[in-house]
Amino acid sequence: MIELAINEDINPLDMSETQPTSSSNEHIDQIIESVEKQDEFLEPDIKKRKLFNKSDEKKYKLEERLGGILCCAVCLDLPRAAVYQCSNGHLMCAGCFTHVLADARLRDETATCPSCRVEISKTTATRNLAVENAVSELPAECQYCNKQFPRNSLARHEETECEERISGCKYSRIGCPWRGPLHERSEHEKECVHPNRSGADVMEALKVIDQEMKEERVMYDSIFELLGYEKITFNDVQLKPYRTDEFVHRLFYESSRFSAFNNQWVVKARINNNQKDPTQSSERDMSYQLILKSKSTKPLNLSYIVLKGPVGDINVKPRIHEFEFTEQNNETPFVKLPLPDTPECNRLLAATTINFRLIMFSK
């Protein structure tokens, strides 16, 4: 193209002898610059096709690609049980779903999907059974032998089948601290020194076991003793969420009034009672108190216990509390609701109401 633009009368062989003018040089530079600009936007005659090697296909197996698609939008891990989705189809595992609802209730906000910010609740979010079934068939690695199994059979393999799973010595009750792979257990037990220890050494290990059994026995003996009291009553209590009138509105729960022993009672509950702002902590617990609403003319000594009732599905361990109600002292101190862990507390917060059975004893 440059040669066409140059004067045709100039012989290419005589270019070295010809002295071009400054105007011709500028003209040539402009042509070269325009050609270079056009080349930037020109497509090649033959488009290159992207080719994948077999090694690339191995890096991106189907189950790995599905794992990235079916993972929880919050923790980015594959769900282990129930899978919930918002109205736009974004997935959340059951633990993260209840945690999002619990955080929103503590902050007095509307719970939203972490991906699209659409409103979510127990009624609007639905379970995705197809995703649950698909995830259960995806392979997962055993934490002991590193072999892969379908997720729906991994738990059974790790608990009962895997030869590499961690096991304890059968003499652990008399103080043997050994823990190791199951297939090494029999070899260790043949050489274990604890069966040949003296009785005094064995007694140290048995004291710990006896102390645990003693605590359980005291609790059950106390329950059986309470069942012999003259006055026993129970109420299926329902706690509803409310907000305080403080500058920072704190969440609390309160029941409706109920009757017991010819008096009116109320149950109140708080989240992380010892913290000013429970929203700043990932560890959560619930404390409750029993309040006498009627005027008491004489002291009333009561024992009470919270259990799972026929309506709710709360998971609590039995704990007996005792308090003497008087005209000046009509509220028990806040005591922890014996929940097993933080996820159980989040599950209760995510629900609309909290239901349990309160049993009260009086002589």
Whether 27 is in a domain gets the answer no
216 and 246, same domain (yes or no)? no
The total domain count for the chain is: 3
The CATH number of residue 73's host domain is 3.30.40.10
116 and 208, same domain (yes or no)? no
- The residue among 139, 164, 190 that closes a domain is 139
DSSP state of 281: -
CA neighbor of 305 nearest in space, from 241, 240, 232: 232
Whether 113 is in a domain gets the answer yes
Tokens of 205: 């290990």
The CATH number of residue 348's host domain is 2.60.210.10
283 and 345, same domain (yes or no)? yes
86 and 122, same domain (yes or no)? yes
Q: Which helix (H) or strand (E) holds 335?
A: strand 335-336
On whether the pTM is more than 0.75, the answer is no
Asked whether the beta carbons of 107 and 65 are under 8 A apart, the reply is no
Q: Which helix (H) or strand (E) holds 141?
A: strand 139-141
- Measured in residues, the chain has a length of 363
Q: Which helix (H) or strand (E) holds 240?
A: strand 231-243
In tens digits, what is the pLDDT along the chain, a chain of 363 residues? 444 444 444 444 444 444 555 555 666 666 666 655 555 545 454 444 444 455 555 456 777 788 788 889 888 888 888 899 999 999 999 889 998 999 898 888 899 999 999 999 988 899 999 999 988 888 888 888 988 888 888 888 988 899 899 899 988 888 888 999 998 999 998 889 888 888 777 887 788 788 888 888 988 899 899 999 989 999 999 999 998 877 667 889 999 999 999 999 999 999 998 887 777 888 899 999 999 999 877 899 999 999 998 887 899 988 999 999 998 899 999 999 999 999 899 999 988 889 999 999 998
- The residue among 88, 122, 139 that closes a domain is 139
Range of the domain at 88: 62-139
Whether 350 is in a domain gets the answer yes
Whether 31 is in a domain gets the answer no
267 and 309, same domain (yes or no)? yes
Give the C-alpha distances (Å, rounded to integers) separating 298 from 294, 301, 310. Answer: 12, 10, 34
Whether 32 is in a domain gets the answer no
Whether 54 is in a domain gets the answer no
246 and 212, same domain (yes or no)? no
